[in-house]
Amino acid sequence: MTASSITADAAFEVLDDLLGPAPTVVPRMMFGHHCFSVAGKVFACVHNGSIALKLPPEVISLLDDSAIGPFEPGGQRMGGWVAIRRDSALEYEQDAELIETSLVHISRIASGVGA
């Protein structure tokens, strides 16, 4: 995967549009990056023009897309997270199902149902 040429604002707009209707989702800034959380737990963020998602391990193990790889901010791999780097902001719309999966996953964790 190569670095994305998409601006952080463009990636945020797409993510915000896809998550906007979810009433439990709260957009916020964290370490200078746009993030989205449920009950204080971050599940999605924009980092260097990519979208990072927290996903269940069983979903991560099935991913087969050259635009998706480990999320490694500052060179440190974050377990349970993936980074998606698309060539254009609109291409992130194809990841709507993964974004929804991330939202459901963190909602379960926040409610104590899943880990």
> For residue 90, which of 19, 6, 30 has the smallest C-alpha distance?
6
98-113 per-position pLDDT tens digit: 999 999 999 999 888 7
Say which amino acid occupies 33: H
Burial 43-75 (b: 16+ CB within 10 A, else e): bbbbbebbbbbbbbeeebeeeeeebbeebebee
pLDDT of amino acid 114: 62
> CATH topology for 8-111?
Yope Regulator; Chain: A, (3.30.1460)
Residue tagged 């379960």 (tokens) = 108
pLDDT confidence band for 42 (50 / 70 / 90): very high
Predicted local distance difference test score (pLDDT) of residue 36: 92
Reported pTM:
0.87
- Residues near 6 by beta carbon (within 8 Å), at least 6 away in sequence: 49, 50, 86, 87, 88, 89
DSSP 29-50: EETTEEEEEETTEEEEEEETTE
